[in-house]
DNA sequence: AACTGTGGCGCCCACT
DNA sequence: AGTGGGCGCCACAGTT
């Protein structure tokens, strides 16, 4: 690419002098009322923001290199070792080498291994060595070690090119400092990949897999697979291309290799507080650590408690297991020392929010108590904490990941607290606190502390270690080191996966701007303002009650489209003259390459097929033994997480393979698929009463019709259409994404209705749920008569209770999440923000982004009061009646009941009755 | 000054 | 990680 070179050189020299950083736009002066000023004053007193903001800006720059802090903090592997599971990788600055962490299951310990291959950090340039020598900032850069010529396949132009690999002394010489090589070159490639990841890719190492040291050499342990399994899977992929078939031996061992058993302990600390609503600040760690509970999956149950003056001992809790050991300390520093000693003994420490609270608190507290640095194993980073001798897993972070919550655990918990997650997944709750932590007797404190720690451990052990198995599988699939799975969101898993696949195949990892420049932006207009492209199609619902409804949906629609349409960032609007305007994406100006198989298409298609054709059916197959079935279910869940996120990331500007044409083509083809299906249904005389993105709701279709339709889809669209569910009846209003369906079993599906939303007051939810219960028993048209009467009674009761102010504040509270910091709400002041500001001004309680605000509607000037400050007598009953009406009308309207009429609002009917 | 209509903010959810 | 959609309310403009 000769023109490219020149222009990149030109831009380089041209831009030398113009290193201007964008000035911050002036803050707009907003007229403020007195109360707003008051709020701001309090806010500024509460925190000094300067440092925080600076940190955030630094973080946004790029991901931190994971650096080994102390030289070899764990024992090194001997020259001959048993097979060990590769868990983590880092970079050791002191030796300038990659450092691997392996788990030896024989002694349950972590062992370290330094790279012995003399692998070095590098980046790529499109300039020849001679050309590079002419650029003085490069020529004079003392950290360059060597140049190598390498061949790379450039997918964007579909050509093999020659590049110069510039080897340097250390990762920061590539990028991260102002004088780094990245800033000295006109353009650098693969220069933003963390070194320890580069190391994994180049050596083709897979975290989560087994390796051993033989005579000082680091070698993979071969995974034997059952011949029958291999055969069966090969037959599934028999019609696929060679490129897809090649993936089988690569990925199958990663899915099927056994799972390591990881010895681990969960830890939870309690800090003295006078006020339940105040959380201690880990940056200052002013208060005493009064208790630490450590619970291991090896049976350890230890609670370290600080003896405090004037605090009663109390009685040992009866529920506390007999083998739980309570150790009392007179001295807090010694308590911490013992905590550290126990932690160091485990290869893995589990916390719940330890990144942001327990670990930074312990560390700062240790510092305050003058515990020596060497004795403290905690390393506090801006976004997370790590341990010198162990790995750290923050369960809060993991379960908080949207992809994990939705796909792996099916949205069973929709609030991420220890309480909510454990009650949803473990079927147990948290111990209710009857007092502030500071007021508990020591034994009460022990019990409370122990319980949280035990629950935290169980979040990783329940269901036969499903959490750990999921993580290991995600590591093996996406090549992420253990701790990175938690620290980073799903987009970086996919980024990592794709980086590794590029490197392994000798493909150049393109720079993001190149993709945008060569593949272009989106060409459709989104329906919602501010979005980048048009998304899924939602069919106008046919209002009314429909009996016998069958729902068909496309099996993982978007991944299927990516596969069958050969979509990939390089196949969109490809560079081949002859491909232009051949295979066009409907509704767009984009064409798809006809010469080359798209990499995304191959990878996503393969994973999708593995899941749909192998792991998912086998997980349900009763002829397969239970253990295997369970294992397969975990695998299919892990694959689902990665597959489903793979479409969205291409529409995310920060994703390194950001490619709007790819994202919008996928959605556009999806719209076409559902449109064609509806058209086909019409031709066949089937009534389509609703549909959303990938589904069609059909009114009493026959078995033959369904079968015919599925066949047609397979032939015509090449996408699998499946029967997803059948409703005894379905209630539709004129609103989209809003319906209530009753299965033959009586189970009820409620979608989108206000009665289900978490910001609806509990008392209305309760009435709503009662109504739903009544509706679930309706079998025929005639049954509605009885149901209607029952429902009317229910609503009337609730109405009079409300009028008589019989509901307590809790039942009336709206629960709304604060999604931004309080001072970020500048355009409008929503009600929950008003309530949060009341709390700040009147009680000094500072709510932060992520907190839930509970408020009630009142007749006060704000129209709303935070529940903590409210009084039942001031409740605005009319507002609640309106709320009841809008919520309940969504179910009442379709079954022909009028809310107004129940309430006795005079209608003509009532008048003459 | 009090009312009415309306765009858009903010939240939550449905689907991928 | 993406878009589509419902709802309540706020802020503001225009009218009486």
Q: What are φ and ψ of residue A687, in 5° steps?
A: -85, 125
pLDDT of residue A804: 87
Nearest protein residue to nucleotide C10 (CA to C1' distance) is A828
Element (H, E) at A497: helix A490-505
pLDDT of residue A301: 98
Give distance CA A648 / C1' B16 (Å): 8
Q: What is the pTM of this model?
A: 0.88
Look at strands A748-751 and A687-692 and give their pairing.
unpaired
Give distance CA A818 / C1' B10 (Å): 10
Give distance CA A32 / C1' C16 (Å): 29
> How many residues would you count in chain A?
913
Listed in sequence order, the residues at least 6 apart from A318 whose beta carbon sits closer than 8 Å to its beta carbon are none
Give distance CA A738 / C1' B13 (Å): 9
Element (H, E) at A688: strand A687-692
CA-based nearest residue to A345, from A296, A394, A301, A312: A296
pLDDT, tens digit (0-9, with 9 covering 90-100), for A21-38? 333 333 333 333 444 444
Residue A72 has pLDDT above 90, yes or no: no
Q: How far does chain A reach from its first CA to its final CA, in angstroms?
A: 87
CA-based nearest residue to A435, from A314, A316, A325: A314
In angstroms, rounded to a whole number, what is the distance separating the alpha carbons of residues A326 and A313?
12
Q: What is the mean predicted confidence (pLDDT) over A230-259?
A: 94
Instruction: Say if residues A271 and A290 touch (Cβ distance below 8 Å).
Output: yes
pLDDT of residue A524: 87
Q: Following CA atoms A123, A129, A135, A137 in sequence, which dihedral angle do they give, to the nearest 10 degrees? A: 40
pLDDT band at A896 (very low <50, low <70, confident <90, very high): confident
Residue A206 has pLDDT above 90, yes or no: yes
At residue A497's C-alpha, the angle toward residues A496 and A498, to 5°, is 95
Q: What is the mean predicted confidence (pLDDT) over A771-792?
A: 88
Name the nucleotide with the smallest C1'–CA separation from A829. C10
**Who has greater pLDDT, A797 or A906?**
A797
pLDDT of residue A722: 92
In angstroms, rounded to a whole number, what is the distance separating the alpha carbons of residues A497 and A478?
4
Name the nucleotide with the smallest C1'–CA separation from A827. B9
In angstroms, rounded to a whole number, what is the distance separating the alpha carbons of residues A445 and A271?
11
Q: Following CA atoms A500, A69, A263, A221 in sequence, which dihedral angle do they give, to the nearest 10 degrees? A: 40
Nearest protein residue to nucleotide B9 (CA to C1' distance) is A828
Residue with tokens 């020596």: A372
Name the nucleotide with the smallest C1'–CA separation from A407. B16
pLDDT of residue A781: 86
- Please tell me what DSSP assigns to residue A613: I
Residue A283 has pLDDT above 70, yes or no: yes
**Mean model confidence pLDDT for chain A:** 87
CA distances for A497 relative to A32, A681, A797, angstroms: 50, 40, 57
Give distance CA A789 / C1' C1 (Å): 47
Give distance CA A474 / C1' B9 (Å): 38
Give distance CA A911 / C1' B14 (Å): 42
Look at strands A122-125 and A289-296 and give their pairing.
unpaired
pLDDT of residue A851: 84
pLDDT, tens digit (0-9, with 9 covering 90-100), for A87-130? 999 999 888 899 999 999 999 999 999 999 999 999 999 999 99
Residue with tokens 């990941």: A401
At residue A348's C-alpha, the angle toward residues A345 and A349, to 5°, is 90
CA-based nearest residue to A638, from A339, A251, A117: A251
Give distance CA A553 / C1' C5 (Å): 20
The widest CA-to-CA distance across chain A, in whole angstroms, is 99
Give distance CA A859 / C1' C1 (Å): 42
pLDDT of residue A33: 41
Nearest protein residue to nucleotide C7 (CA to C1' distance) is A754
Nearest protein residue to nucleotide C11 (CA to C1' distance) is A828
Per DSSP, the three-state class of A167 is: strand
Nearest protein residue to nucleotide B14 (CA to C1' distance) is A737
Give distance CA A772 / C1' B12 (Å): 20
Name the nucleotide with the smallest C1'–CA separation from A737. B14
Name the nucleotide with the smallest C1'–CA separation from A816. B11
Name the nucleotide with the smallest C1'–CA separation from A724. B15
In angstroms, rounded to a whole number, what is the distance separating the alpha carbons of residues A491 and A658?
11
pLDDT, tens digit (0-9, with 9 covering 90-100), for A697-720? 999 999 999 999 999 999 999 999
The answer to which of A58-67, A144-153, A800-809 has the lowest mean pLDDT is A58-67
pLDDT of residue A29: 35
The protein residues having a beta carbon less than 7 Å from any atom of strand B are: A 406, 414, 529-530, 536, 553, 556-559, 644, 647-648, 692-695, 737, 750-752, 756-759, 815-820, 825-828, 830, 832-833
pLDDT, tens digit (0-9, with 9 covering 90-100), for A162-201? 999 999 999 999 988 888 999 999 999 999 999 999 999 9
pLDDT, tens digit (0-9, with 9 covering 90-100), for A284-330? 999 999 999 999 999 999 999 999 998 999 999 999 999 999 999 99
SS3 of A268-312: the string is EEEECCCCCCCCCCCCCCCCCEEEEEEEECCCCEEEEEECCCCCC
Provide the percentage of residues in chain A whose pLDDT is more than 70.
91
The answer to which of A15-19, A744-748, A822-826 has the lowest mean pLDDT is A15-19
pLDDT, tens digit (0-9, with 9 covering 90-100), for A638-693? 888 888 889 999 999 989 999 999 999 999 999 999 999 999 999 999 999 999 99
In angstroms, rounded to a whole number, what is the distance separating the alpha carbons of residues A876 and A861?
11
Per DSSP, the three-state class of A81 is: coil
Nearest protein residue to nucleotide C2 (CA to C1' distance) is A648
Chain B bases near protein CB atoms (7 A cut-off): 8-16
CA-based nearest residue to A584, from A638, A507, A665, A652: A665
pLDDT band at A276 (very low <50, low <70, confident <90, very high): low
pLDDT, tens digit (0-9, with 9 covering 90-100), for A385-429? 999 999 999 999 999 888 888 888 877 887 788 888 888 888 786
- Please tell me what DSSP assigns to residue A552: E
Listed in sequence order, the residues at least 6 apart from A74 whose beta carbon sits closer than 8 Å to its beta carbon are A101, A109, A110, A111, A112, A389
Residue A559 has pLDDT above 90, yes or no: yes
Helices (H) then strands (E): counts for chain A: 33, 28
Give distance CA A33 / C1' C15 (Å): 27
In angstroms, rounded to a whole number, what is the distance separating the alpha carbons of residues A784 and A774?
9
pLDDT of residue A37: 47
Name the nucleotide with the smallest C1'–CA separation from A530. C3
CA distances for A507 relative to A500, A565, A839, angstroms: 10, 22, 56
Residue A759 has pLDDT above 80, yes or no: yes
In angstroms, rounded to a whole number, what is the distance separating the alpha carbons of residues A290 and A894?
57
pLDDT band at A796 (very low <50, low <70, confident <90, very high): confident
Name the nucleotide with the smallest C1'–CA separation from A752. B13
A271-278 long-range contacts (CB < 8 A, ≥24 apart) are A271/A361, A271/A437, A272/A437, A272/A438, A273/A436, A273/A437, A273/A438, A274/A436, A274/A438, A275/A436, A276/A433, A276/A436, A276/A437, A277/A845, A278/A845
Per DSSP, the three-state class of A837 is: helix
How far, in whole angstroms, is CA A646 from its chain's centroid? 13
pLDDT of residue A850: 83
pLDDT band at A819 (very low <50, low <70, confident <90, very high): confident
Q: Can you say whether the dihedral through the CA atoms of A685, A690, A691, A697 is positive or negative?
A: negative
In angstroms, rounded to a whole number, what is the distance separating the alpha carbons of residues A851 and A277?
12
pLDDT of residue A316: 93
Q: What is the mean predicted confidence (pLDDT) over A766-776?
A: 90
Give distance CA A830 / C1' B9 (Å): 9
Give distance CA A551 / C1' C4 (Å): 20
Name the nucleotide with the smallest C1'–CA separation from A557. B16
pLDDT of residue A277: 59
The first and second tokens of residue A164, run together, are 């110069």
pLDDT band at A430 (very low <50, low <70, confident <90, very high): low
Residue with tokens 């290991």: A472
Q: What is the mean predicted confidence (pLDDT) over A237-241?
A: 94
Q: Can you state the angle between helices A599-609 and A557-564, rounded to 10 degrees?
A: 130
pLDDT of residue A15: 35
Give distance CA A168 / C1' C4 (Å): 49
Instruction: Say if residues A317 and A448 touch (Cβ distance below 8 Å).
Output: no
Name the nucleotide with the smallest C1'–CA separation from A751. B14
CA-based nearest residue to A471, from A221, A298, A229, A642: A642
CA distances for A200 relative to A180, A478, A500, A623, angstroms: 23, 12, 8, 39
Element (H, E) at A697: strand A695-699
Give distance CA A586 / C1' C4 (Å): 19
Residue A869 has pLDDT above 60, yes or no: yes
Give distance CA A407 / C1' C1 (Å): 13
pLDDT, tens digit (0-9, with 9 covering 90-100), for A38-52? 444 444 444 333 333
Give distance CA A828 / C1' C10 (Å): 6
The first and second tokens of residue A415, run together, are 């609030």
Chain C bases near protein CB atoms (7 A cut-off): 1-11
Residue with tokens 């509806």: A678
pLDDT of residue A413: 82
Q: Can you state the angle between helices A599-609 and A490-505, rounded to 10 degrees?
A: 120
Name the nucleotide with the smallest C1'–CA separation from A736. C5
**Who has greater pLDDT, A216 or A411?**
A216
Give distance CA A586 / C1' B14 (Å): 24
Instruction: Say if residues A755 and A892 touch (Cβ distance below 8 Å).
Output: no
Name the nucleotide with the smallest C1'–CA separation from A494. C1
In angstroms, rounded to a whole number, what is the distance separating the alpha carbons of residues A537 and A236?
32
pLDDT band at A528 (very low <50, low <70, confident <90, very high): confident
Give distance CA A518 / C1' B11 (Å): 38
Name the nucleotide with the smallest C1'–CA separation from A401. C1
Name the nucleotide with the smallest C1'–CA separation from A403. C1
């Amino acid at each position: 690419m000769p023109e490219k070179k020149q222009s990149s050189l030109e831009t380089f020299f041209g831009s030398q002098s113009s290193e201007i950083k964008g000035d911050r736009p002036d803050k707009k002066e907003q007229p403020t009322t007195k109360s707003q000023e008051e709020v701001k004053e309090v806010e500024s007193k509460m925190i000094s923001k300067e440092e925080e903001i600076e940190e955030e800006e630094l973080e946004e720059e790029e991901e931190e290199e994971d650096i080994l802090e102390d030289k070899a903090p764990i024992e090194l592997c001997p020259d001959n070792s048993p097979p060990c599971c590769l868990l983590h990788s880092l970079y050791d600055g002191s030796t300038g080498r990659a450092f691997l962490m392996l788990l030896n299951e024989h002694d349950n310990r972590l062992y370290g291994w330094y790279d012995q291959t003399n692998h070095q950090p590098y980046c790529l340039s499109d300039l020849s060595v001679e050309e590079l020598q002419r650029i003085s900032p490069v020529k004079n850069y003392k950290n360059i070690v060597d140049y190598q010529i390498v061949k790379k396949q450039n997918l964007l132009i579909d050509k093999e090119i020659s590049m110069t690999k510039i080897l340097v002394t250390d990762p920061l010489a590539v990028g991260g400092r102002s004088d780094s090589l990245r800033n000295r070159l006109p353009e650098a490639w693969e220069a933003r990949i963390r070194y320890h990841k580069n190391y994994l890719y180049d050596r083709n190492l897979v975290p989560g897999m087994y390796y051993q040291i033989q005579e000082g050499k680091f070698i993979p342990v071969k995974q034997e697979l059952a011949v029958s399994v291999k055969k069966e899977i090969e037959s599934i992929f028999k019609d696929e291309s060679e490129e897809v078939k090649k993936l089988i031996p690569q990925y199958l061992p990663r899915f099927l290799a056994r799972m390591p058993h990881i010895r681990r302990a969960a830890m939870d600390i309690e800090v003295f507080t006078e006020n339940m609503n105040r959380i201690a600040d880990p940056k200052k760690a002013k208060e005493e650590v009064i208790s630490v509970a450590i619970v291991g999956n090896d049976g350890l149950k230890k609670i370290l408690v600080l003896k405090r003056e004037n605090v009663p001992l109390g009685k040992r809790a009866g529920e506390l297991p007999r083998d739980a050991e309570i150790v009392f300390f007179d001295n807090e520093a010694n308590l911490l020392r013992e905590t550290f000693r126990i932690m160091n003994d485990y290869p893995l420490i589990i916390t719940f929010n330890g990144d942001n609270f327990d670990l930074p608190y312990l560390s700062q507290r240790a510092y305050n108590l003058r515990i020596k640095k060497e004795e403290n194993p905690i390393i506090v980073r801006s976004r997370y904490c790590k341990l010198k001798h162990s790995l750290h897993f923050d369960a809060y972070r993991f379960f908080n990941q949207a992809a994990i919550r939705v796909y792996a655990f099916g949205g069973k918990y929709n609030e991420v607290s220890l309480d909510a997650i454990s009650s949803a997944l473990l079927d147990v709750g948290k111990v209710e606190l009857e007092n502030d932590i500071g007021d508990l007797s020591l034994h009460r404190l022990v019990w409370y502390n122990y319980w949280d720690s035990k629950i935290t451990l169980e979040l990783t052990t329940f269901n036969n270690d499903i959490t750990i198995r999921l993580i290991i599988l995600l590591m093996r699939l996406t090549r992420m080191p253990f701790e990175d799975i938690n620290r980073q969101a799903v987009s970086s898993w996919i980024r990592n996966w794709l980086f590794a696949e590029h490197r392994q195949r000798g493909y150049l990892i393109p720079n993001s701007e190149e993709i945008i420049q060569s593949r272009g932006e989106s060409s459709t207009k989104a329906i919602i303002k501010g979005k980048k492209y048009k998304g899924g199609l939602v069919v106008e619902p046919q209002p009314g009650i429909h009996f016998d409804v069958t729902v068909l949906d496309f099996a993982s629609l978007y991944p299927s489209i990516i596969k069958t349409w050969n979509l990939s960032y390089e196949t969109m609007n490809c560079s081949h003259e002859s491909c232009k305007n051949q295979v066009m994406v409907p509704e767009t100006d984009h064409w798809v390459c006809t010469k080359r198989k798209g990499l995304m298409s191959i990878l996503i298609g393969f994973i999708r097929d593995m899941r749909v054709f192998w792991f998912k059916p086998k997980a349900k197959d009763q002829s397969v033994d239970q253990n295997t079935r369970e294992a397969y279910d975990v695998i299919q869940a892990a694959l689902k997480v990665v597959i489903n996120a793979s479409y969205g990331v291409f529409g995310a500007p920060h994703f390194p393979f950001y490619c709007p044409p790819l994202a919008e083509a996928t959605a556009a083809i999806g719209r076409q698929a559902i449109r064609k299906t509806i058209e086909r249904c019409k031709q066949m005389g089937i009534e389509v009463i609703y549909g959303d993105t990938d589904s069609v709701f059909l009114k009493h279709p026959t078995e033959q019709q369904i079968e015919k339709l599925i066949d047609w889809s397979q032939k015509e669209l090449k996408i699998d259409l499946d029967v997803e569910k059948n409703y005894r009846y379905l209630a539709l209003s004129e609103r989209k994404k809003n319906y209530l369906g009753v299965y033959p079993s009586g189970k009820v599906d409620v979608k989108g209705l206000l009665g289900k939303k978490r910001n609806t007051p509990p008392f209305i939810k309760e009435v709503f749920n009662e109504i739903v219960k009544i509706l679930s028993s309706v079998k025929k048209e005639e049954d509605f008569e009885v149901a209607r009467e029952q429902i009317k009674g229910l609503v009337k009761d609730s109405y009079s209770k409300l009028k008589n102010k019989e509901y307590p504040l809790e039942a009336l509270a709206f629960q709304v999440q604060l999604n931004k910091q309080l001072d970020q709400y500048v355009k409008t002041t929503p009600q929950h923000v008003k309530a949060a500001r009341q709390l700040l001004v009147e009680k000094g309680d500072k709510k932060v982004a992520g907190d839930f605000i509970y408020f009630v509607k009142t007749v006060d000037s704000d129209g709303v009061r935070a529940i903590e400050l409210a009084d039942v007598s001031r409740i605005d009953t009319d507002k609640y009646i309106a709320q009841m009406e809008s919520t309940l009308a969504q179910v009442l309207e379709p079954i022909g009941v009028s809310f107004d009429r129940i309430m006795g609002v005079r209608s003509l009917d009532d008048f003459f009755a």
